[in-house]
Homo-oligomer: A and B are copies of this chain.
């Protein structure tokens, strides 16, 4: 006998969340209940449970008697989210600066240095990985559960709108320098330089998010990737 630890609704919630965040279900699409029920093999009750959760998280928008739609974030909303992320992560960096794991940062630094010698293709991948790791190391220093959860949530919500700049631009030196500045500042125990570097990093990212989203929207290209 299999013990059922999770309810169906919970599983459906996770599956739908993954589908939306991965861009498999794009913004603006209607979440037709019957259709999703058939696709996921459950009845409407657990499906609706999942929808309600997603509505409550602001990922879906509910209109009475019309259904749920995947929320399309407006240009200024993405900007506000990125701004919130910038302020929050800089705040964490400043407040919990002493608790940041220098050893992890050092490893990250060495990984990047090694990657610069392996050609552009590998460097691209290394930068993408390092980017996520850097944010993770910083946020891990914070021992406030609520702040950590909020930052992670914002990272998730931004994900469908993210642009992998490394995959487009040929000149990786500027991108690399941006990360290097933050890493060096932390290793040199310079709070202000680190915060300034992280802040600048977000600022350039934010422009990319917005400009790209705007371009895609205007040209009608799907946000799926």
Contacts and interface: CB of A to CB of B under 8 A. Distances in A.
Interface of A: 4-7, 9, 48-49, 52-53, 56-57, 64, 77, 80-81, 83-84, 87, 91, 95, 144-147, 150, 154
Contacts of A53: 52-53, 56
Contacts of A81: 146
A144 B154 CA distance: 14
A84 B147 contact: yes
B64 A5 contact: yes
Given A64-B5, A64-B7, A95 B87 contact: yes
A97 to B, nearest CB: 14
A131 to B, nearest CB: 22
3 smallest A-B Cβ distances: which pairs? Answer: A56-B56, A80-B144, A53-B56
Contacts of A146: 80-81, 84, 154
